Amino acid sequence: MNKGELIDAVASSTGVAKSTVDAVLNGTIDAIEGAVAKGDKVTITGFLSVERVQRGARTGRNPRTGETINIPAGNAVKVSAGAGLKSAAKGK
């Protein structure tokens, strides 16, 4: 399901106009991105949590040449599924 299909599904299940659903979804995405950029953890209980994590510097290997390379420290995003989402994935 892509973003357009999600908007259609939410609009049809709630009876809210697609333009309104699109605006709310965009606002939600912006709020989550802003919180993660500040280092805050976003949790939607039973669904998912999103947080920024620090990755340490490490060495890697260039797969083409086999040469060892240094990968600098940086930030990454960690997304964890909640109990409800895990249950849905299991078909329950």
User: What digits encode the pLDDT tens for the residues 34-72?
Assistant: 999 999 999 999 999 999 999 999 999 999 999 999 999
Residue 81: which pLDDT band, with cuts at 50, 70 and 90?
Answer: very high
Per-residue tokens: 59: 């060495």
Reported as a single tens digit per residue, the pLDDT across 2-29 is: 999 999 999 999 999 999 999 999 999 9
- What residue has token string 């510097």? 57
Task: Confirm whether pTM is higher than 0.85.
Answer: no
Which positions ≥6 away from 33 have C-beta within 8 Å?
none
